[in-house]
C-alpha cells in the first residue's frame, strides 16, 4: 500500500493577520493575509482535512487571537488544532471552547509539567506535544528561550506522560523553505512510539517526498505554511499526491 502523508496547512496569527516568521524571529515577519477566515476557507476548499492555527501573539506574550481562532473554527467544517500561548488551564479550556479539536502544548511542558500531565490525563489524544529545537536543544516561549533540556530525552519523557502525537519543529528550518530536517525527524521518530507531525521548512513537493522517503511510518503528517502562501506548493496538488 502506498504510504500517505496528512498535509496540514498552517495559519499563524499575529495582530489578527496571517503571517510567517523566519526562524521564529518576530522581527522577520512577512504579512500575507488580513483575512484568516477567508484563508482557512480557501484551504478547506482545496481539500484540507485539518488546519493548524498558531497564536503568535500568545506565544510571545504580547496579546491573543482567540476571536480569530473562534471565527476560523466556526467557518470551516474540518477540525482545527491550535497552539501558541497556552500556559494555564483556563488557556487550554478557552481554546477548546473556541472550537479547537486539539491543542498543542509546548512552553507548558517545560515550565509546568505537572499541569501539562494533568491536562493530558483529562483530554487524552486531544493534547499534542510541541517539541521545538535548535539542533538537540529544546526552546520555548515562542522559541525565544532555550532550555537545558535535550531533545531526545524530552521526547522520551513526553511518551511516558501519555502523549500520543508531537509536532516536531527544527527551528533553523522554519519559514526558510530549505526542506524539513529529515535526519532529525527520523531520529525523533525512532525514540518512542509516538505519531509525529513534521513542521518547518517545506518549499516544494520534493520536500514532502523526501520526508516520506527518509522517515519511519510514524511520521504521518506534515505542516505546510510559507510555501502555500508563496505559491511554491499548490495545496490541492500536494493533497492529491500525498494525502
Which segments of 161-204 does DSSP mark as H helices, in order?
Answer: 182-189
Note whether residue 156 is domain-resident. Answer: yes
Q: Closest Cα partner for 56 from 48, 64, 45? A: 64
For 179, what's the count of Cα atoms within 13 Å in the CB-facing half-sphere? 13
Pick the catalytic residue from 12, 55, 57, 207.
Answer: 12
Note whether residue 1 is domain-resident. Answer: no
pLDDT at 140 exceeding the cut of 60: yes
* pLDDT band for position 143 (cuts 50, 70, 90): low
- Cα 149–162–133 angle (5° rounding)? 30
Note whether residue 68 is domain-resident. Answer: yes
pTM of the model: 0.91
Note whether residue 86 is domain-resident. Answer: yes
Task: List pLDDT tens digits, range 164-182.
Answer: 999 998 886 555 567 788 9
Active site (annotated) includes residue 207? no
CATH classification of the domain holding 89: 3.20.20.70
Domain membership of residue 53 as a residue range: 6-242
Note whether residue 16 is domain-resident. Answer: yes
Note whether residue 219 is domain-resident. Answer: yes
End-to-end CA separation in angstroms for the chain: 13
Task: List pLDDT tens digits, range 1-37.
Answer: 478 999 999 998 988 888 866 655 666 667 877 899 9
Task: List pLDDT tens digits, range 28-62.
Answer: 667 877 899 999 999 999 999 999 999 988 878 78
- Rounded to a whole number of angstroms, the CA Rg of the chain reads 16
Pick the catalytic residue from 55, 57, 132, 207.
Answer: 132
Note whether residue 171 is domain-resident. Answer: yes
Active site (annotated) includes residue 91? no
Quote the number of domains for the chain. 1
Amino acid at each position: 500500500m502506498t504510504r500517505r502523508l496528512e498535509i496540514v496547512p498552517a495559519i499563524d496569527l499575529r495582530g489578527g493577520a496571517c503571517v510567517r516568521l523566519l526562524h521564529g524571529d518576530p522581527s522577520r515577519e512577512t504579512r500575507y493575509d488580513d483575512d484568516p477566515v477567508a484563508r482557512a476557507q480557501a484551504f478547506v476548499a482545496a481539500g484540507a482535512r485539518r488546519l493548524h492555527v498558531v497564536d503568535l501573539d500568545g506565544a510571545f506574550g504580547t496579546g491573543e487571537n482567540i476571536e480569530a481562532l473562534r471565527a476560523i473554527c466556526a467557518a470551516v467544517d474540518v477540525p482545527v488544532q491550535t497552539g501558541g500561548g497556552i500556559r494555564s488551564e483556563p488557556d487550554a479550556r478557552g481554546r477548546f471552547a473556541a472550537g479547537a479539536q486539539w491543542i498543542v502544548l509546548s512552553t507548558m511542558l517545560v515550565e509546568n509539567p505537572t499541569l501539562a500531565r494533568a491536562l493530558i490525563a483529562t483530554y487524552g489524544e486531544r493534547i499534542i506535544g510541541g517539541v521545538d529545537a535548535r539542533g538537540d536543544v529544546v526552546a520555548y516561549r515562542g522559541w525565544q528561550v532555550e532550555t537545558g533540556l535535550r531533545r531526545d530525552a524530552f521526547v522520551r519523557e513526553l511518551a511516558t506522560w501519555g502523549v500520543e502525537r508531537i509536532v516536531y519543529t527544527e527551528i533553523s528550518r522554519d519559514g526558510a523553505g530549505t526542506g524539513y530536517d529529515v535526519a532529525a525527524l527520523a531520529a525523533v521518530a525512532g525514540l518512542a512510539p509516538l505519531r509525529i507531525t513534521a513542521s518547518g521548512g517545506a518549499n516544494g513537493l520534493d520536500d514532502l517526498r523526501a520526508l516520506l522517503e527518509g522517515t519511519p511510518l510514524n511520521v504521518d503528517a506534515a505542516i505546510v505554511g510559507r510555501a502555500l502562501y508563496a505559491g511554491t506548493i499548490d495545496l490541492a496538488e500536494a493533497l492529491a499526491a500525498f494525502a
